[in-house]
Amino acid sequence: MYVNARNDGLGYEPRGENGWRQGVRFGLGHYPGEVRRGPDGRVYEWTERVDGLGNIDGFWSDLTDRAKKVWRGLIETLRKNVANGVLSNPNITLATTHVSGNVDNANARQNIDDTSKGTDASRSSYGTAPGGTVKLDLQMLVALLKLADTYKFSVSELAGGEHAKGSRHYNGVTVDVNIINGKRVGSTHPDIANFMQECRSLGATQVLGPGNPGHDTHVHCAWP
Ligand SMILES: [Zn+2]
């Protein structure tokens, strides 16, 4: 039996007892679950397990990294669940074609459907659209659900479609809405001002609509 000190924080390098990253001594743990702050300021936990030959194998596991992994997993689960909620919300209609008439797998419904399955959303690749995929922003998805508490609306574009160069649509943080409470978006629509204000209240930092160049037919809300 032997105990082999390893530094899990940098990808599982064999280290030996006198090794801790660039040669800084950190030593062996005394018991599984022991927590120490490393010379790098991060928090590590002594972890032991038995390898295939029956040897006890001990190493310092980076708790910061582990916490980050757990957090990332939670965010991905949330993203899927909220997308599922958007998909099944009776007040939200998701376009299955682009305003341009182009047909691809980057329409609003497909973007949400993919996200609900844990898959990244596609961007369009016609015109100046960049193609590729992106994760839909969780804050934007939650905002869609929140907006649906008050409004019945249609989403015309998310990550797909063709927009201005550098558009925040391509980052997965933006929604275009072209029908609100059964009426097409336009300068005389009675609910536009309130809808746009609610987008801002829900954290959108770029809110455009009728009166803004290129936005006479839809409201555009982008999150940071
Ligand atoms: Zn837009």
How many structural domains compose the chain? 2
Beta bridge partners of 122: 133
Q: Do both 122 and 218 map to the same domain?
A: yes
CA distances, 61 to each of 28, 30, 49, 94, 180 (Å): 12, 14, 12, 45, 52
Q: Do both 97 and 59 map to the same domain?
A: no
Q: Does residue 163 sit within a domain?
A: yes
Ligand 1 centroid to Cα of residue 78, in Å, is 24
Q: Give dist(CA 186, CA 162) in Å, integer.
A: 21
Q: Does residue 102 sit within a domain?
A: yes
Q: Does residue 2 sit within a domain?
A: no
For residue 145, the domain's CATH number is 3.30.1380
Count CB atoms within 10 A of the CB of residue 72. Answer: 10
Q: Does residue 103 sit within a domain?
A: yes
The DSSP bridge pattern shows strands 133-134 and 153-157 to be: unpaired
Q: Do both 48 and 104 map to the same domain?
A: no
Give backbone dihedrals phi and psi of 73, rounded to 5 degrees, phi first.
-65, -40
Q: Do both 174 and 216 map to the same domain?
A: yes
Ligand 1 centroid to Cα of residue 88, in Å, is 23
pLDDT tens figures, 197-213: 999 999 999 999 999 99
Ligand 1 centroid to Cα of residue 81, in Å, is 24
Ligand 1 centroid to Cα of residue 31, in Å, is 56
pLDDT at position 52, please? 78
Q: Do both 60 and 141 map to the same domain?
A: no
Q: Do both 144 and 205 map to the same domain?
A: yes
pLDDT at position 26, please? 63
Q: Do both 48 and 94 map to the same domain?
A: no
Domain range for 125 is 89-222
Q: Do both 117 and 179 map to the same domain?
A: yes
Q: Does residue 75 sit within a domain?
A: no
Q: Does residue 207 sit within a domain?
A: yes
pLDDT at position 3, please? 39
DSSP 8-state secondary structure symbol assigned to residue 148: H
Q: Do both 145 and 205 map to the same domain?
A: yes
Q: Which of 7, 185, 9, 197 is nearest to 99 (CA)?
A: 185
Q: Do both 217 and 152 map to the same domain?
A: yes
- pTM as predicted: 0.78
Q: Does residue 82 sit within a domain?
A: no
Ligand 1 centroid to Cα of residue 77, in Å, is 27
pLDDT at position 51, please? 74
Q: Does residue 73 sit within a domain?
A: no
Ligand 1 centroid to Cα of residue 43, in Å, is 43
Q: Are 111 and 158 in contact (CB under 8 A)?
A: yes
Q: Can you read off the two tokens belonging to residue 178?
A: 């072209």
Q: Do both 61 and 119 map to the same domain?
A: no
Instruction: Spell out, as residue ranges, where the chain has pLDDT lower than 50.
Output: 1-25
Ligand 1 centroid to Cα of residue 144, in Å, is 15
pLDDT tens figures, 42-75: 888 888 777 777 777 777 778 888 888 899 999 9
